[in-house]
Amino acid sequence: MDLIVRRDGAREAILHCGHNRFRAAIGAGGIGAKRSEGDGVTPIGVFAPRLVLYRADHLARPLTALPVAKIEADDGWCDAPLDPFYNRRVKRPYGASTEALWRDDHLYDLLVVLGFNDAPVVPGAGSAIFLHVARPDFAPTTGCIALALDDLVKVVSTLAPDDSVTIMP
């Protein structure tokens, strides 16, 4: 099942999954060409879903054909462009800048790692584009795509390793 994300306003989008349509939050910089780390843009392109991560203390293991792993309290994602593990999962504390995957706000209780800037990794081109849980008010993300938890669970259940997520303006 391929997913299509289309802009629906300045900071929101609709995620198309088969016959289903889901409200989605996108980056504060809208959908466009990703220029650098931290630009807040949700990148245009076609990306493979790589891995599902989840908080086992908050949710049951998600049903999906994708690889699945638990988020541990010391998990992070390296967002330091000059680090050799840039745009990769790391253990915290880490010697370079990281984003915590273990969060108190529930945004990363369930997430899908998208294959953005990972084959090969280009330093500074952007990191950590995820499908993750939206804030209750669907506030903009830092560049990810965010859905209501129930919608994200449905989407995750349809995904397979040969699927794609297409992000278009």
User: pLDDT of 30-79, one tens digit each?
Assistant: 999 998 999 999 999 999 999 999 999 999 999 999 999 999 999 999 99
CA distances from 58 to 31, 42, 93, 102 (A): 30, 27, 23, 11
CA distances from 61 to 29, 52, 104, 139, 147 (A): 32, 10, 19, 27, 18
Structure tokens at 150: 């129930």
Tell me how far apart the alpha carbons of residues 88 and 117 are, in angstroms, rounded to a whole number: 10
Domain ranges of the chain: 3-168
If DSSP codes are grouped into helix, strand and coil, which group holds residue 94? coil
pTM of the full structure: 0.96
pLDDT value at position 154? 97
Can you tell me the mean pLDDT for 81-86?
Answer: 97
Report angle CA 32, 46, 81 to the nearest 5 degrees: 65
Residues, the chain, total?
Answer: 169
* Topology of domain 3-168, CATH: L,D-transpeptidase catalytic domain-like (2.40.440)
User: Could you tell me where the beta strands, DSSP code E, fall in 33-160?
Assistant: 42-43, 45-47, 49-54, 68-70, 75-78, 89-91, 98-100, 110-114, 130-133, 145-147
Structure tokens at 6: 């289309």
User: pLDDT of 105-147, one tens digit each?
Assistant: 999 999 999 999 999 999 999 999 999 999 999 999 999 999 9
pLDDT value at position 80? 97
- The label of the residue with tokens 């999962």 reads 89
